Amino acid sequence: PVESTSELLKHYEVYETIGSGGFAKVKLGIHILTGEKVAIKIMEKKDLGVRSSLVKIEIEAMKNLSHQHVCRLYHVIETSSKIYMVLEYCPGGELFDYTIIISALAYVHSQGYAHRDLKPENLLIDEDHNLKLIDFGLCAKPKGGLGFELLTCCGSPAYATPELIQGKAYIGSEADVWSMGILLYALLCGFLPFDDDNCMVLYRKITRGKYSNPHWLSPASILLLNQMMQVDPKRRLTMKQLLDHPWVMKGYSTPVEWHSKHPLGHIDEDCITEMAVAFKQSRQRTIQLVSDCKYDQMTATYLLLLAKKHQGRPVRLR
Ligand SMILES: CN(C)C[C@H]1CC[C@H](N2C(=O)N(C)Cc3cnc4ccc(-c5cc(Cl)c(O)c(Cl)c5)nc4c32)CC1
């Protein structure tokens, strides 16, 4: 780790705090070389305590995720007292478009991760009004793959599954499908299916699995919600079934497209050319440094230059 904030200030202009949550503060930043806006998540090591392991989990997970609807990690800087995560800027605030959530989650599961903390607060909108899934601090990547059982009880109570509340071993992808059912209900109804100020009462409601269907819900929506919020996880809809469910596909002829448009490891020639010239080094050397993907200034410059290209802006460095 570098000793001071100098490493951060060498590559970024840091502006006002744009949000905070848990043990992090998020500030607006500008990456000097590309001019691109970024969100800088700042964590004080002394405040983290045991949670520093959750930060490591989030960083390791996000290093392995590259998808149009997953908030991108560009750069990690660790000093003696702080951890900085430079992230894709999503100024659109919290909102969600449901089929995009399914796409983002199907991709995360395809990479072997379960998010485990799905809720409206973790779905942001970027400058072009695209949805971005955030906060992988509670995600899990079971060693033997997603089919293996998890035990950690985590996430927000109102979105927790009956099996998790009862302390049973559970399958991450089945838990995420239940949470998406809660999300869909909140989107369609404007309130949560299971809610109570008293945690124990809330848990009893969830394990009973009974909730009201407001009169404005269509029969198709009532059916889908019922299939997703099945107390028995083995009776619950699977992610695969969700991708081509009639309700989800209504009006479309193809299942939800969930594959990443920006797979990890892809090398863009234009960005390499611009960086080789700007850093006065050979293309081969530049390709090597970018491929190493150390989530340092090289990674941040490459990924932010690529983001510029995807937004149709010139692939130029300052
Ligand atoms: C309620 N949460 C537990 C934290 C809250 C922190 C501010 C954040 N935010 C805001 O609240 N704006 C109002 C602006 C804003 C703009 N772009 C952002 C880009 C990324 C993130 C982000 C934040 C955290 Cl804690 C992450 O782990 C990741 Cl992977 C990403 N937050 C952003 C963000 C929304 C979430």
**Ligand 1: which atom is nearest the Cα of residue 20?**
6
Residue 229 pLDDT > 60: yes
| Cβ of residue 22 lying under 6 Å from some atom of ligand 1 | yes
CA 19 – ligand 1 centroid, Å:
6
Token pair in block for residue 182: 């809660």
CA 114 – ligand 1 centroid, Å:
19
Q: What is the pLDDT of residues 24-50, one digit of tens each?
A: 999 999 999 999 999 999 999 999 888
Query: Considering the entire predicted model, what is its pTM?
Result: 0.79
Amino acid found at 48? L
Amino acid found at 122? N
Q: What is the pLDDT of residue 95?
A: 58
CA 26 – ligand 1 centroid, Å:
6
Nearest CA to ligand 1 atom 7: 19
Length of the chain: 318
Helix axes 283-292, 269-278, angle to 10 degrees: 110
Q: What share of the chain is helix, strand, coil (3-state, %, to 5)?
A: 40, 15, 40
Dihedral Cα 192, 197, 199, 201, nearest 10 deg:
-80
Residue 131 pLDDT class (50, 70, 90 cuts): confident
Mutate to test the pocket of ligand 1, among 20, 25, 26, 74 (most ligand atoms within 8 A of CB): 26
Please say whether the beta carbons of 195 and 258 come within 8 A: no
State phi, psi for 17 to the nearest 5 degrees.
-70, 130
pLDDT mean over 95-119: 84
Mean of per-residue pLDDT scores for the chain: 91
Please say whether the beta carbons of 160 and 138 come within 8 A: no
Nearest in space to 104 (alpha carbons), one of 38, 179, 165? 179
The answer to whether the complex's ipTM is over 0.90 is yes
Residue among 97, 117, 268, 270 flagged as catalytic:
117
Active site residue 292: no
Q: What is the pLDDT of residue 137?
A: 83
Half-sphere exposure of 196 toward its Cβ, with a 13 Å CA cutoff?
11
